[in-house]
Structure 1
């Protein structure tokens, strides 16, 4: 398992995603008052370990955590969240991201603002789920890099779970697609809030989600300017980096993926 997960070309691809997708979205948050726990396996080798830590050090809200490999993910995340919750915090707003997810620059601020709207519902049970259900799929193939609008209910990177400090469960303990079974929830579709990667090392293509996923009309006058302003995404730069390294990143992908046509 380690030989596959820690293969140099795979780690370089994950570093490409980390540097170009996840981290710029956190760095550009309009509301800087948040803590982001960045969880990694304790066997992550150098030089990638050092490269990751160098990237994380540029964002003061991030706390890197190396956890022993082989434990249940939910247990590790629960301990990390409980250990790093501020003592004077009454309510935690928990979200979950992979290294190929990206948040809109307003994600933290809008989550905080909306909590004031539905706080009476939160008080009824002591927890509440917020579902930002519009965003984009960033799809990379052997031919191209594209953005596709998607409306997807209770998708993990668009979900925020509000809970009282010290609650036994965390956001990772809930099946995100069934969050509505456990607590009051609200779906917010007013503006796209997330980007999720779809590539040879992931399964986030729209076709994987059947009737749960739909597109939406997205026609700004200048799409590239929109992504730059709202997500801090420089599509031209990302395209150049992908084109230069995709053959290396895709070297152990199945032949049909290495030759896949975009769309």
Structure 2
């Protein structure tokens, strides 16, 4: 079966719905999203935490659409253009503000659908989260083992539940291992190509309303970041798990291409930038 892996990452997209932080007007939303200090913090999270995993996927056959508005201020729009220009898996989609967020998500993703695919593996990715270096490879492999269920239903979710919650508070880094159900990151919604939806069309906490789901609890597959700019600022329900003694640094490096010291520096830099009236530069 020909499977396309197609994701959507919203980078400060200017729309009125689709987020937990509400605003009464486009002007209020624009002022909030396009605040220069906030944008620089989001860029730091994106480039430090989210991007390394996508640049080093063991299976490079995927597309991640970066969705933002055509009026995203410089230098951030230019940075996104440059990044997507040199990484073929990343596709920049500039979408005008829309009242209906799911319509905007569909507009961003639709041009990148593979008409030859028999199944589309839709996934959402927040710009401050991370997936493991083998997320795409593992998803293809594990989906192959449950294809009969997908063929029978035409829809299927495949969730990797083992992750790390990274909190950046007051300049300090805290890492909490958690096993979660349908957290949203490292969660793939497989649809037939004739279904004009994206992963965001389905509330990830209520997927059982629309499709059967399979959860795989090993290996470690995601990082979810929690900080002052998070759309949702808590860990949510889940179960604890304990890495082997002294294994955290190795897990971060081997699974995500990240180093604990770099994450600790990020937490400290964001705090110092906030205390000083702005975040530091991003290279």
TM exceeding 0.5: yes
RMSD of Structure 2 on Structure 1 (CA): 1.8
1:59 Cα deviation from its structure 2 partner: 2.4
Q: Which is richer in helix?
A: 1
Against the structure 1 CA distance between its residues 250 and 37, is the aligned structure 2 distance closer, same or farther, given a 3 Å change threshold? farther
Aligned length: 249
Q: Which is further off, 70-79 or 3-12?
A: 70-79
Q: How do 1:65-214 residues align onto structure 2 when only pairs under 5 Å count?
A: 65-202=93-230, 203-206=232-235, 209=236, 212-214=237-239
Q: Say if 2:98 and 2:104, in contact at 8 Å, map to a contact too.
A: no
Gaps of 5+ in 1: 254-263
The structural deviation recorded for 1:205 is 2.4
Which of residues 62, 67, 87 in structure 2 aligns to 1:39? Answer: 67
Structure 2 residue 86 is the aligned partner of structure 1 residue 61: no
Distance 1:154 1:250, change over 3 A: farther
Q: Confirm whether residue 230 of structure 1 aligns to residue 258 of structure 2.
A: no
CA change 1:72–1:139 in 2 (3 A) is: same
1:231 and 1:220 map into 2 onto residues whose CA distance is: 19
Aligned-residue offset at 1:221:
3.7
TM-score relative to the length of structure 1: 0.88
Length-normalised TM-score, structure 2: 0.82
Deviation of 1:251 (Å): 6.1
Q: CA deviation at 1:186?
A: 0.5
- Aligned equivalents of 2:34, 2:131: Cα separation in 1: 26
